[in-house]
Amino acid sequence: MRYIIFSDIHCDKASCESVISKTKNADFAIGAGDYALFRKGLEQTIDILSLIKIPVILVPGNHETCLELSNACEEYNNFHILHGNSIQINGVLFMGIGCAIPVTPFIPWSVDLSEEEAQKLLPEPHNDFVFITHSPPFGCLDTLNNNKHIGSKSIRTFIEKSKPLFVACGHIHERWKQQSNINGIPVINAGPEGYEFEY
């Protein structure tokens, strides 16, 4: 299967066009959050991305709520929103959770979850699934330029216990276009231009 993974587009038209062009020979497109910018421009961004014709699986970021994202995608039948739930498409099971985890301090517009809230939302583990999360797992693709880790401990625990096929994330701009792993499980911070990944 060929996946095009993207995150943190933040209303950038050129990034949308890059993602669209890469999906033409792919099986799935995966969006790991932050299509809007400061809770604005979401509808216009999704309207551009609607040119993608393959199945698109999205989680909300911290720049849009799950409801805002669901409303923006409502008329596009190939767009599927995950946030604490799962969906199976063409034989592939996807699970996902959005928002910034843990809570982003001192940013009133940010859509966040505490570690405890996230733990309650994380779906029951299944074998052979793809996991999509806006926030990276703690200790993996989660460092800022000052080398401080700001990833989610609940997300990391979930990955270690449930062993997904691979993990798509975003949120940390400093780690765009990078791939790492947790116990051999690939973890990808895609960035806005579209990261090509085969599994």
CATH number at residue 47: 3.60.21.10
Count of CB atoms situated within 10 Å of the CB of 108: 5
Using the predicted structure, report yes or no on whether residue 168 has a pLDDT greater than 90: yes
| pLDDT tens digit sequence for 110-150 | 999 999 999 999 988 777 999 999 999 999 999 988 888 98
Cα–Cα distance for residue pair 145/192, rounded to 1 Å? 19
Nearest by Cα to 133 from 91, 162, 90, 107: 162
Q: What is the pLDDT of residue 146?
A: 85
Question: Please, which pLDDT band fits residue 177 given cuts at 50, 70 and 90?
Answer: very high
CA separation (Å) from 195 to 71, 191, 192?
26, 7, 8
Backbone phi, then psi, for 160, in 5-degree steps?
A: -65, -35
Using the predicted structure, report yes or no on whether residue 166 has a pLDDT greater than 90: yes
| Mean pLDDT, range 168-191, rounded to an integer | 96
Using the predicted structure, report yes or no on whether residue 180 has a pLDDT greater than 80: yes
Quote the number of domains for the chain.
Answer: 1
* Domain of 81, in residue numbers: 2-198
Nearest by Cα to 64 from 91, 37, 104, 94: 37
Count of CB atoms situated within 10 Å of the CB of 116: 9
Which residue type sits at 89? I
Q: What is the pLDDT of residue 126?
A: 74
- 112's tokens: 């966040």
| pLDDT tens digit sequence for 63-108 | 999 999 999 999 999 999 999 999 999 999 999 999 999 998 878 8
- Looking at the chain, which runs of residues are DSSP E strands? 2-6, 28-31, 56-58, 79-81, 85-89, 92-97, 129-133, 167-169, 178-182, 185-189, 195-198
> How many angstroms from the chain centroid is the CA of residue 61?
7
DSSP 3-state of 130: strand
Judge contact between 45 and 39, C-beta under 8 A.
no
| Mean pLDDT, range 39-48, rounded to an integer | 97
| Mean pLDDT, range 187-192, rounded to an integer | 96
Count of CB atoms situated within 10 Å of the CB of 107: 12
Using the predicted structure, report yes or no on whether residue 61 has a pLDDT greater than 80: yes
DSSP 3-state of 112: strand
